[in-house]
Amino acid sequence: MKIAVISTPHERTPPLRYGGTERVVYYLVEGLVKRGHDVTLFATGDSFSRAKLRYAFEKPDRSYSAEREIQHVLYALDEIRGDGFDFIHNHCDWYGIAPFLKGIEDIDVPAATTTHGTYTRDFWFMVNPRNRGVFIAISKRQAEVHPFINYVGVVYNAIEPREYPFKRDKEDFLLFVGALLPHKGVHIAIDVAKKLGMKLVIAGKPDVNYADYYQSLLRQVDGNHITILGEVSEDEKRDLMSRAKCLLFTSTYEEPFGVVMIEAMACGTPVVALRNGAAPEVVEDGRTGYLVRSVDDMIKAVKLVDLIKPDACRARVEELFSVDVMVESYLRMYRLISERALVSLALSKRV
pLDDT tens digits along 84-97: 999 999 999 999 99
In this structure, the chain runs to a length of 351
Peptide bond into 14 cis (omega under 30): yes
Mean pLDDT by 10 residues, the chain (351 residues): 97 87 96 98 96 96 91 97 95 96 93 96 96 96 96 97 97 96 96 96 92 94 89 95 98 96 98 97 98 97 98 98 98 94 51 43
pLDDT tens digits along 9-54: 999 999 987 778 999 999 999 999 999 999 999 999 999 999 999 9
pTM summary value = 0.93
Residues 291 and 276: their CA atoms lie apart, in Å, by 9
Residues 120 and 132: their CA atoms lie apart, in Å, by 16
Alpha helices in the chain (DSSP H): 20-34, 66-80, 97-103, 121-127, 140-144, 186-196, 211-218, 234-243, 259-266, 279-282, 295-302, 310-320, 323-350
SS3 172: coil
pLDDT tens digits along 304-338: 999 999 999 999 999 999 999 999 999 999 999 99
What count of other Cβ atoms lies within 10 Å of the Cβ of residue 211? 10
Compute the chain's Rg from CA coordinates: 21
